Amino acid sequence: MKLQERTSTITSIMLLLVLASIPERSFAQDDRSYARTVYERCPDADILKIQHAEFDLVEVDYLCNGKKMEVGFRNGKVVYEEQEADLDAAVFAKIQQALGKKYPGWLLDEISLIAAKDTTFLKVEVMLDGVEHNVFFTTTGRKFKPDALLASNKWTLCELAATDLPNSGYDLLAPDSTYHLPDVLREVSGIALSGPNTVVCVQDELGVVFEYDLVNDAITKIHRFTDIGDFEDIAVQGDVITVLRSDGKLHQLDRKTGKLLSERLDPLSSLNYEGLFQDGTHLFILGKEAPVIGPAHARPIHHMHNSGTPELWRTLDAEEVSRVFATSFPELAHHGVRFHPSALAIHPITGELYVLSAGDRLLAIYGDTLRAVVPLPAERFYKPEVVHLSDTVRSISSMQQQKGKRYFIRRHDRISGPFTKEELCARRIEDGTQVWNEEAFDWHEAYTFDELCVVLEQPPPQPGRKLWNWFRWRTTR
């Protein structure tokens, strides 16, 4: 054996010995359990990073037999695993065709296989001018919209339906209408009403304002006002649109022409801002985190009048929100809650201040003091980052959710629906409630519907209608 080969062999042995000692020495005490789980899954794993992310999620990146892997934990349990996907040519061709139609000009970066709960799907990363965007597909190459698999879920819709929630002025468990925004607005971070049936939206990492028609479910205008940034909220006053960047910088543009009118970055006390609200000539900017100099539980709100110098208007107390929540919901508060404000609005009738917190899905309502803290269900509000209260007392809240599986229910020969499974739960149906969906030939008691797999598209049979007539209509249409 040559000297060079012997030296290489000795070096390799030494390196393996060093790596073998890492699990016991280099991880923080709280992270060792995650490392042990990874080594159980892959004994020869090379752990690259353990990161504590949002929503109580811990992400571990590692190499397993030379293959890059990522596993996510919540409450010590694995909630997903991501690895490089190995696709056959037919599936890859279908994905390329779909991307060519929806994302012309975008470059395909990488494709990952994600296993989460009982679902396995593909995550496709595409890029354009340095901006990354994720598109999801089934393992056979069809478009897929994943549920809120990684969202914090400290309480469910059913639990909240059985709870005496504070009066917020709205039925937050059962929205009157739900709008499903297109994929390009998957990460929408700001919405403001701009007309009777139109809204303007801003996307997290795109310097673009989108105008969206709620009636026709379509984007009608796009205004590009700057390059890449982290944009958090939007406000409209007349023909002037104001967009908030996360560092507090404000961009103003003309709604008709899309022309950038002004930019300003004022010295604000915090480094991270997510909420923007405009009332006439008054502009309010909400801090997500504590000021650089000040108590850690403080959340500042700044006020500007007639484009003047911003001044501190009000300070919210995150510890107070946690105390009120624990007092109001002792059965839900055993995990504790975090208050990192993501949006604000002033009620046009009551004058109360409404503040959303996306991390643990909370709505805090303030009068002169904190009046109520309302928990929001993950099934309805995946990541609530927007609140808008119009003068017609209509609420719009940003949510990412599936269209879901639909049911109709019948009580005393009165039919209502369609509802998702979670919405049925919110209406407190009982085992004997009459339920119908498109796969059923007739009405059945609710307890018989264990698994549902078809989204309802047609109206159910009316009470008293003969089964054969309905079956013939369904099979010959």
- Please tell me the pTM assigned to this model: 0.60
Q: Are residues 328 and 431 in the same domain?
A: no
DSSP code string of 354-390: EEEETTTTEEEEESSSEEEEEE--TTT-SS---EEE-
Q: Is residue 414 part of a domain?
A: yes
- Structural domain range at position 472: 407-476
Boundary-marking domain end, from 75, 109, 137: 137
Q: What is the CA radius of gyration of the chain?
A: 26
DSSP code string of 184-242: GGTTEEEEEEEETTEEEEEETT--EEEEEETTTTEEEEEEE-SSS--EEEEEEETTEEE
The CA distance from 199 to 88, in Å, is: 42
pLDDT at position 224 over 70: yes
Q: Are residues 171 and 209 in the same domain?
A: yes
> What's the pLDDT tens digit per position in 29-87?
578 889 999 999 999 999 998 888 665 688 999 999 888 999 988 878 888 899 999 89
Q: Are residues 264 and 361 in the same domain?
A: yes
Closest by CA to 348, choosing from 308, 381, 392, is 392
> What's the pLDDT tens digit per position in 281-340?
899 999 999 999 999 999 999 999 987 889 999 999 999 999 999 999 998 877 678 899
> What's the pLDDT tens digit per position in 140-158?
888 776 654 545 567 878 7
Closest by CA to 401, choosing from 205, 121, 178, 200, is 178
DSSP code string of 42-100: -TT-EEEEEEE-STTEEEEEEEETTEEEEEEEETTEEEEEEEE----HHHHHHHHHHHH
Q: Are residues 339 and 224 in the same domain?
A: yes
The CA distance from 19 to 275, in Å, is: 46
Range in 15-19, 214-218, 399-403, 449-453 with the lowest mean pLDDT: 15-19
Q: Are residues 340 and 222 in the same domain?
A: yes
Q: Are residues 242 and 391 in the same domain?
A: yes
Q: Is residue 245 part of a domain?
A: yes
What's the pLDDT at 265?
93
Q: Are residues 353 and 446 in the same domain?
A: no
Asked if 342 and 376 count as a contact pair (C-beta separation under 8 A), the reply is: no
Residue partners of 85: CB distance under 8 A and separation at least 6:
111, 112, 113, 122
Boundary-marking domain end, from 397, 429, 455: 397
- CATH number where 339 lies: 2.120.10.30
